[in-house]
Amino acid sequence: MTEDRPLRYHETGNIHLDFHGATNTTIDFIVANYGVAVLHEIFEKVGKDVYADIRAHLIAGDAQELVRHWRHFFERENADFDIAVEGDEIVLTVRRCPAYAHVQKIAPSVSPWFCDQTVKTNEAMAEGSPFEVATEITGPGACRQIIRKRRP
């Protein structure tokens, strides 16, 4: 169990939700100037390089580090979410994503590719591991992220 050791990604300082607005603008800029494929390459690098520690845990067969990461950040940003074990799956249900909700408040529109950061980063973190992390967008600012063992 990894609960007794510090979480690798655990920022505790002042939350600047405007970071999500900057991300939204950056996503639109990248798509307009370089295309969706480049955006997805960037998110893949984030999943593999920025979240290397979580990725290493997944490759080692430990999905709990990703669950701890989810819990920390969704609690920190006051998301409406829950995490449940459903059979052989760990399911994060997000009913109100704080990033999406904040961008809706401050930007003219939420980028149509905004949630790709979650989808593509999750896929990249899990690549080469015994797990897949599937992300289902269930509505504006809502999703289900599911960790499950890969099927042979």
Residue 34 lies in a domain: yes
Position 11 confidence tier, pLDDT thresholds 50, 70, 90? low
The answer on pLDDT for 10 being more than 90 is no
Helix axis angle, 36-45 to 116-126, nearest 10°: 50
Residue 104 lies in a domain: yes
Residues 6+ apart with CB under 8 A from 54: 8, 9, 65, 66, 69, 125
pLDDT at position 14 is 55
pLDDT at position 152 is 74
Between 1-5, 76-80, 126-130, the lowest mean confidence (pLDDT) is in 1-5
CB atoms near residue 8 (< 10 Å) = 15
Tens of pLDDT, residue by residue over 12-25, are: 555 677 888 999 99
Domain count, the chain: 1
Residues 6+ apart with CB under 8 A from 141: 94, 96, 97, 100, 101, 104, 110
- Could you tell me the CATH number of the domain that includes residue 48? 3.30.1380.20
State which residues form the domain around 125: 18-149
C-alpha 69/C-alpha 65 separation (Å) is: 6
pLDDT at position 17 is 74
In terms of average pLDDT, the best of 1-5, 85-89, 130-134 is 130-134
Residue 4 lies in a domain: no
Position 7 confidence tier, pLDDT thresholds 50, 70, 90? very low
C-alpha 32/C-alpha 2 separation (Å) is: 42
Mean pLDDT of the chain: 90
The answer on pLDDT for 6 being more than 60 is no
Residue 3 lies in a domain: no
Return the percentage of the chain with pLDDT > 70, whole number: 89
Residue 136 lies in a domain: yes
First-residue to last-residue Cα distance in the chain:
26
Residue 7 lies in a domain: no
Tens of pLDDT, residue by residue over 35-88, are: 999 999 999 999 999 999 999 999 999 999 999 999 988 998 899 999 999 888
Residue 45 lies in a domain: yes
Residue 24 lies in a domain: yes
How distant is the alpha carbon of residue 143 from its chain centre?
10
